[in-house]
């Protein structure tokens, strides 16, 4: 029977990949999942109705800790942005992780002093992350007393904008060769 299009929702985040991965596998799992996501956002310099995320999920039978998550994201930050970048974790709420954090990189433009790019804060939000909520494990039939893990989701365009100093996300979708050739 055909589904009513009114009942369908384009995915707003790549997190559904986590559930499919855990339903189809046994722990440990380590996955990186790039994908396109959709939001009912009004397009402007920093928002787009569709963009890309990179989802990461690591679950092991041994105790995985928030310290593991922090070290992986700090390593990624330095590999992607250079060794001078510092990473900040802020407590936050996400439905699928507990505890949850928002992840900021120090602003590459001003080095953390404050500028227009970072709205004078010295920091730029790049990801959401946290420890997988035990209820998520129960829903896929895994015992949260036996497994633990972390998950994170980065905005790909956000990282590119920071790394290459791109002031407007729309430039990434206009297929202007004068712009694209600078990223080759």
The least CB distance from residue 117 to Zn ion, in Å, is 5
DSSP 172: G
Tell me, what DSSP letter sits at residue 25? S
151 binding Zn ion? (CB under 5 A): no
- Residue 11 and residue 15: Cα distance in Å, rounded? 9
Under rule CB under 5 A, how many of the chain's residues touch Zn ion?
6
Range in contact with Zn ion (rule: CB under 5 A) among 30-38, 70-78, 112-120, 150-158: 112-120
Rounded distance between C-alpha atoms, residue 101 and residue 90, angstroms: 5
CB of 89 vs Zn ion, minimal distance in Å: 19
Residue selected from 109, 140, 156, 160 as contacting Zn ion according to rule CB under 5 A: 109
Cα dihedral 126, 168, 173, 14, rounded to 10, equals: 20
Residue least distant from Zn ion (Cβ): 107
Q: Which of 87, 104, 100 is nearest to 152 (CA)?
A: 100
Residue with Cβ nearer Zn ion (62 or 113) = 113
Shortest distance in whole angstroms from residue 45 CB to Zn ion: 15
Give the residue, chosen from 57, 77, 87, 107, that forms a contact with Zn ion under the rule CB under 5 A.
107
What whole-number distance in Å separates Cα of residue 170 and Cα of residue 16? 26
Tallying the residues shown for the chain, one arrives at 184
> Mask 55-94, x = binds Zn ion (CB under 5 A)?
----------------------------------------
Q: What does DSSP say about strands 87-94 and 50-60: parallel, antiparallel, or unpaired?
A: unpaired
- Residue 115 binding Zn ion, by CB under 5 A: yes
**Contact residues: Zn ion, CB under 5 A:** 107, 109-110, 115, 117-118
């Amino acid at each position: 029977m055909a589904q009513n299009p009114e009942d369908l929702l384009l995915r707003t985040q790549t997190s559904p990949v986590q559930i499919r991965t855990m339903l189809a596998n046994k722990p440990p799992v380590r996955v990186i999942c790039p994908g396109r996501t959709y939001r009912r956002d009004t397009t402007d310099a920093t928002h787009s109705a569709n963009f890309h995320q990179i989802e990461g999920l690591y679950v092991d039978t041994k105790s995985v800790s928030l310290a593991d998550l922090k070290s992986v994201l700090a390593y990624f930050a330095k590999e992607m942005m250079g060794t001078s970048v510092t990473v900040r974790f802020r407590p936050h709420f996400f439905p699928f992780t507990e505890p949850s954090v928002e992840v900021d990189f120090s602003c590459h433009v001003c080095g953390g002093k404050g500028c227009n790019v970072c709205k004078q804060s010295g920091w730029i939000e790049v990801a959401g992350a946290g420890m997988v909520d035990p209820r998520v494990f129960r829903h896929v039939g895994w015992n949260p007393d036996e497994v633990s893990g972390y998950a994170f989701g980065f905005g790909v365009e956000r990282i590119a904008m920071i790394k290459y100093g791109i002031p407007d996300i729309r430039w990434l979708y206009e297929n202007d060769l004068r712009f694209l050739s600078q990223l080759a």
